[in-house]
Amino acid sequence: MFELKWLWKYMGKKRHLFIIGLILSALTSAMQVINPMLSQKLIDEVITPRKTDLLLPILGAMLVVQVVRLGLRYVMIICLEHNSQQMLDDVRKRMYRVIEEQDYRFYGRIRTGDLMTRITSDLDLVRHFCAWISYNIVDSVVLFSVTIAYLCTVNVPLTLCMAAITPFIAVITYFFSKKIRPMFVELRAKLSNLNTVAQENIAGNRVVKAFAREPEEEEKFRRCNEEFRKKNLEATYVGVKFTPLIELLSQSLTVTSLLVGGIFMMNGSLTAGGLMAFSSLTWALANPLRNLGMLINDVERFFASCRMVIEIFYAQPSIVDHKLATEPKERVKGDVEFKNVSFRIGGTTLLDHVSFHIPAGSTLGIMGTTGSGKTTLVNLIDRIYDVSEGEVLLDGKNVQDYTLHSLRSAVGMATQEVFLYSETVLKNVCYGNPNLSQEEAVKYMKMAAADEFSAKLPDGYETLIGERGVGLSGGQRQRLALARAIAMRPSVLILDDTTSALDTETEKYIQEQLRHLDFPCTKIIVAQKISSVMNADCILVLDRGRIIEKGTHEQLLKHRGYYSSIWALQNGMEQEAVHLGA
């Protein structure tokens, strides 16, 4: 059982508490036989012969046994809870770290809702196994075994008669287990689908409202919820079918002890105390068997969930630090060069033999049609993706020779699709540089034209903003994202269509500020508007993953290609643009 080996390995520093808990579980289960033994002695040696000298000692011993057992039981539960909560904490932190390290392939394969299910409910079922299922299994096995052993000392034939019933319960339990296992795998998949639908609709609620799709999304959720309900009921019905059989066989133990035990008592082969011992311990044989169905149910849930947790736990990102990767000894200058770079995903070529050079401190503009590879190109610089062919150099050194942390610390990025955390304005700006003082943060917010509207918020810079910047306009979110990128003081600043939601005046102000940053920085501006890139030292025009034009604004206008056609369109010269495009 790989799942059990994995669980044992990653119980962590409190594994000894789990061992202590199971030992106490076995001990306290065995102690449940002591009082019936003393009851037998009480009847056979005190009540029947009417000798009262042992009455108080036996009653006192029974009381002490019960108190000690309850005390040990309390310690057992505390040990198992401490162990399971520590395991939960350690594994969840490891899973979260693994998720954070994954690349685009991982997130393309596993949906967000499924990830949330694995890191919450699946992992909690694993904890439930450690804290509850494990000791119940030990309880059942030890209690049944010790009871059989003790009853054999009282009357072997009667014990064998009662034990003969147990194989039938074992057979029924086996078939129940075989039937229920695939159901829990399907049930878990239905839960994952349900969580995914809920997560996507919560995250995309503005899109839902914009297209008035509330009824359709409610219907989608209703269908997923109904499928989950039906699958739950299906699993429950299977349990209900098997439970009466197990219950009937368990109850037959009581009938057997009274019927056969009464016959043995009448013929003198069993004492009254012995019959009482059998009667009082019938539950000790019946309960473990009766609990088998429930325990198998829980164990199957554990295995189904544990496999999902392990899949994430051992997931390996494809983009990692190379063995010889190093931290730069001084600040990266920002000299960027692409040498014959190609990038493919699943057989589709997104970049095809791209080569160019950006001297440190200069500005590069990138334009092109939608899907031409602009965003893919800039994502190769900080290794969001890795090249399929060629190499990307930073200060003359392959980006793969830098540690990921040092590389991404040297590259600041602001994108058109802005994500802001449910934190204060100030904390969002300082996200990439937590040690930044408020004065410095405000300075960079001014550079990004984000200080004025931020200061007017209800609590100023300490105002909490919602997930994804809810409560702010698109332009305000873009300006905060730009301020966050600048606040890193990066050696390479990438602006991926960052000013698309800004008015012309604000965009000109930001461009002026970017030309006068108080730290050395190479700037790469991806844009659709000519005004965003026209002052760049060099402009690349991409089409289908290839560079089709390259030069300054003036050079590209003279070239009279794609760039000049877009310039004509954006400056109200439609006829010329059509002519040039032809």
Q: Does residue 407 belong to any structural domain of this protein?
A: yes
From start to end of 465-530, where are the E strands? 492-496, 522-526
Same domain, 370 and 269: no
Give whichever of 115-119, 298-302, 448-452 has the largest mean pLDDT: 448-452
What is each CA distance from 372 to 337, 422, 577, in whole angstroms? 19, 34, 20
CA distance 237 to 230: 10
Same domain, 402 and 260: no
Same domain, 179 and 59: yes
The tokens for 537 are 């030292």
Residue 161 has pLDDT above 70, yes or no: yes
Under the banding of pLDDT at 50, 70 and 90, the label for residue 24 is very high
CA angle (96, 126, 146) in 5-degree steps = 155
Over pLDDT 70: what percentage of the chain? 97
Q: DSSP labels for 388-425?
A: SEEEEEETTEEGGGB-HHHHHHHEEEEESS----SSBH
The helix (H) or strand (E) run that includes residue 549 is strand 546-551
Residue 88 has pLDDT above 60, yes or no: yes
Q: Does residue 309 belong to any structural domain of this protein?
A: yes
Residue 243 has pLDDT above 90, yes or no: no
Same domain, 373 and 417: yes
Pairing outcome for strands 411-415 and 522-526: unpaired
Q: Does residue 327 belong to any structural domain of this protein?
A: no
Q: List the one residue out of 489, 386, 398, 504 whose CA is nearest residue 443.
A: 489
Q: List the one residue out of 453, 480, 338 whose CA is nearest residue 399.
A: 338
Q: Does residue 321 belong to any structural domain of this protein?
A: no
Greater model confidence, 138 or 194: 138
In the chain, the number of structural domains is 3
CA distance 452 to 445: 9
Place of tokens 């694995």: 118
> Roughly what angle, to the nearest 10 degrees, separates helices 272-280 and 134-154?
160
Of 271-275, 329-333, 391-395, 464-468, minimum mean pLDDT range:
464-468
Q: Does residue 562 belong to any structural domain of this protein?
A: yes
Torsional sign, CA 195, 197, 200, 204: negative
Provide the residue range defining the domain that includes 567: 553-582
CA distance 180 to 302: 13
The pLDDT, as a whole number, for residue 338 is 96
Q: List the one residue out of 512, 475, 481, 485 whose CA is nearest residue 363.
A: 512
CA distance 387 to 377: 9
Residue 355 has pLDDT above 90, yes or no: yes
The pLDDT, as a whole number, for residue 252 is 82
Same domain, 134 and 261: yes
Q: What is the pTM of this model?
A: 0.75
Under the banding of pLDDT at 50, 70 and 90, the label for residue 284 is confident
The tokens for 130 are 């450690």
Q: Does residue 324 belong to any structural domain of this protein?
A: no
